[in-house]
Chain A
Amino acid sequence: MGGENQIRTTRKERSESVLRTAFCVLATGVCYYLATRLAWKLSFPNSQVCLIFPPHAVLISILLLVPSRHWWVYTLAAMGGHFVAAQQANWSLLESLHPEAFNAVQNLLVAGGLRFFIKSPLKLITLRDAIVFVLIAVVVVPVGTAFWGAAFNSNHFGSNYWVEWRNLSVSNSVTAVVFVPAILLGVHRLSSRRPRVTPARLIEGMLLGAGLLIIGVFAFDNRPAGPDTSPALLYAPIPLLIWAALRFGLGGASASMLVITFLAIWGTMHGRGPFLMQSPAENALDLQLFLLVTAIPLLFLAILLEEEKRSQSALRESEVRFRNVADTAPVLIWMSGTNKEGVFFNKSWLEFTGRTVDRELGEGWLKGVHADDLAHCLDVCGTAFEKREPFTIEFRLRRKDGEYRWMLDTGTPRFDAEGAFVGYIGSCLDITERRQTELDYQVQGTELARVGRVALMGELAASLAHEVNNPVGAMVTNASAGQRMLARGQLKPDELRELLSDIVSDGHRAREVIEGIRNMVRKSEASHSLVSVRDVIRDLLRIVRADAIARNVSLVAEVDENAGMVLADRVQLLQVLLNLTMNAFEALAVIRADARRVVIRAESVQDGKICVSVRDTGPGFPDGLTDQLFEAFFSTKVEGTGMGLAIARSIIEAHGGTLSGENLAGGGTLFTICLPEATEAKSQTT
């Protein structure tokens, strides 16, 4: 069913198109006939020469507007039109046949050449198109075919061959260059839907037209030609033609050229204007050359001006497009010029800072940068600017509510088409949240480490209590003894002095233990300083001593003399050693009491590292678990949280060191911490 419909519509369409084509062909014939009549009118009264031959332009234009496969029909129609006109002028059959053939061939050649070389013959767009057009339609074909035409004419009319050749070629050239662009553009203008012309433009066009008519008449139609006719009149129309090309493009230029052409021909034909000096043939030539010399440059000029306008408007369009993108983008976009001054800030930037663009231009935007970041900002930007390199920088910019937000600013240098530096373009992203998250992360890490320490301290609570109870107990006992001695009158001043001094020193001892505990559980940010490894181990022993005794563990420390300083957070380092030591103690719980031994060793190794190791004589950990030991939530203890070693490793790695564990061949476990050795100089650079 559908197929039949399709066939029916196609047939209908085909018949419609055939009708259309028939109508066009007929119209062509008629136009050609009329144009031929016009051409014959535009010739000198006593001459054979047609100044111009509009029929050529008509046929060429029509051929360029229709499909190639119809050309033969249209050409025949044109020939027919000419034939009718020739018959009316009482030409013989032979006389009319030759021009018809000649015209047909010439026009086909022009149309064919143009169609082949120019993509859109309908409208001459680029300079290349114009050059091709001039070469084919104005130079090569007219001049080439003139050889043939001149032969016939000189034979037929008995005139000089070269004169005929000259007349023919010039005449056809002028026809092509004056009429074809005008016709083609006129058709294009009529067939396309252009926006309505504004009144201003209409008035301008009318002024131009009026000016052309007036000047044209004045230049070409005014007085009868004679010795005092000034050749300067020839130049009078030129400014108007240029105006037409400038303001109305190729279409305007062509139309204006047409007006001038007609006025010039009309005036010259009737014995007026500046061209009537010599014989009609020479007058004709002068006029034709004038028209040629005016029309061809005008064509190029018009096309160049249009190209310029197009590229200008493309540039403007791209500017507008960029501005649109820049203003709708959620990031802050800025541009700077060749002197680092701010030249553009997009809408997002202005909305963010809440300032107007005038206040931001130049160096105004710097006022929004946080005082602490300004120096660094200028430094980085300046350095990159000198080298014309891209840069990335983070700084704080004041938001319109007064809060300073961290911005990630990326800038790239811009270069124009010739490679000259024209400034920078960049974008800013608000990374305050991200930084906050990083900070939170850090804080959490520190918190976690602290929690680990608190847990360790909890495990040591009983031992630490013992460490406090001893000095406190001694203080109380001493004081009671003193009271009793006083009651019996037995207290000598020396004895009293000694007793009181003992109390004081025990008080200090208690304080130290409590301070040690407090340091371990205090909330504080990690701070790195020069830490003596020996001191840390001493602190460690002080804390675990009581526990070692309680567990019957023999604890020995071997600190090499060359084990010096590291750059570390003292509390965190102590925490790690504590963790390892407590682990060792617990591992020894299953070993018989007299075999429980923990050795803590500190020594300096090559590559400038200091290693502290904790060795125990326990059963070791199961083989194959070496890597898992340090994982979070992994524990071999029944009640272990599994966090201690994970925290310990992350602390050591944050210090730029390594923490590893292994089973020893002779039994037992060895955990080793290695940290880079620090010197005075290193600590001062951080």
Chain B
Amino acid sequence: MPTAVHSWKHSEERAPKGCTSDAASVCLLDDDLSMLKALDRLLKAEGFHVERFSEPAAFLSAIAQAPCRVAILDVWMPDMNGLEVQEVLRQDSPETRIIFISGRDDPSVRQTALEAGAFGFLSKPFDDEVLLRLVRKALAA
């Protein structure tokens, strides 16, 4: 189980679009592109404003400029995993609500994530209604 904090490089380039402090702003981070696309469709269909990221580094640098209200994070990613991103976010952007989605069913990861303050933890494939409810709750909080 990953515990060490991976020191990520600050990406020099700006994020494609800065997150606005729009209430309906959700950020997505998943290295699986088709999952990213599907989530984007789902959330946009419900009227949320969505920002997509497939690299943790790009995501974190964009967040630094303009934080998101809700971040949906994949756990298992090559350079930096979701928990590590959570660590960074806790320090740099504590107000962001984090919802984890994971392709692996790992109870210890779930526990760690929730203890570290995650708003929710879902396993892929998940029920879309459950995710949307979580997102609405997180935005409202």
Contact = CB atoms under 8 A, between A and B. Distances in A.
A230 interface: no
Contacts of B101: 473
B124 A488 contact: no
Interface stretch (A427-435, A463-471, A613-621): A463-471
A604 B34 CA distance: 37
A549 B6 contact: no
A506 interface: yes
Contact of B32 (A474, A480, A485, A594): A474
Interface in A339-376: none
B103 A467 contact: yes
Most B Cβ at <10 Å: residue of A469, A473, A476, A594? A473
Given A474-B32, A546-B76, A549-B81, A481 B125 contact: no
A471 to B, nearest CB: 7
Interface residues of A, number: 34
A552 interface: yes
B104 interface: yes
Contact of B6 (A466, A481, A488, A594): A594
B35 interface: yes
B37 A474 contact: yes
A484 B104 contact: no
A485 B35 CA distance: 17
Contact of B105 (A462, A470, A477, A488): A462
A470 B103 contact: yes
A476 to B, nearest CB: 4
A310 B32 CA distance: 100
Interface string B30-61: 00101101110110111000000000000000
Interface residues of B, number: 28
A200 interface: no
A550 B105 CA distance: 12
Contacts of A131: none
A27 interface: no
Contact of A593 (B2, B35, B41, B78): B2
> Binding site of A, secondary structure by majority: helix, strand, loop or mixed?
helix
Interface string A564-602: 000000000000000000000000000011100000000
A44 B78 CA distance: 140
B120 to A, nearest CB: 15
B115 interface: no
B103 A481 contact: no
Contacts of B106: 462
A481 B45 contact: yes
Interface in A511-558: 546, 549-550, 552
B50 to A, nearest CB: 11
B140 interface: no
A462 B1 CA distance: 14
Given A476-B125, A549-B81, A594-B6, A463 B38 contact: no
B42 A481 contact: yes
Contacts of A467: 103
B57 to A, nearest CB: 15
Most A Cβ at <10 Å: residue of B37, B44, B125? B125
A466 B125 CA distance: 10
Given A469-B124, A546-B76, A594-B4, A480 B42 contact: yes
B124 A499 contact: no
Contacts of A509: 34
Interface string A477-520: 11011101100101000000001001001100100000000000
Nearest to A484: B45
B123 interface: yes
Contacts of A469: 103-104, 123-125
23 contacts: A462-B104, A462-B105, A463-B104, A466-B103, A467-B103, A469-B104, A470-B124, A472-B125, A473-B124, A473-B126, A477-B35, A477-B41, A477-B128, A478-B41, A481-B45, A482-B41, A484-B128, A490-B45, A502-B37, A546-B104, A552-B2, A593-B2, A594-B4
Sorted nearest first, the 10 A-B pairs with minimum C-beta distance are A473-B124, A480-B128, A473-B125, A466-B103, A477-B38, A481-B41, A481-B42, A469-B103, A478-B38, A476-B125
Interface of A: 462-463, 465-467, 469-478, 480-482, 484-485, 488, 490, 499, 502, 505-506, 509, 546, 549-550, 552, 592-594
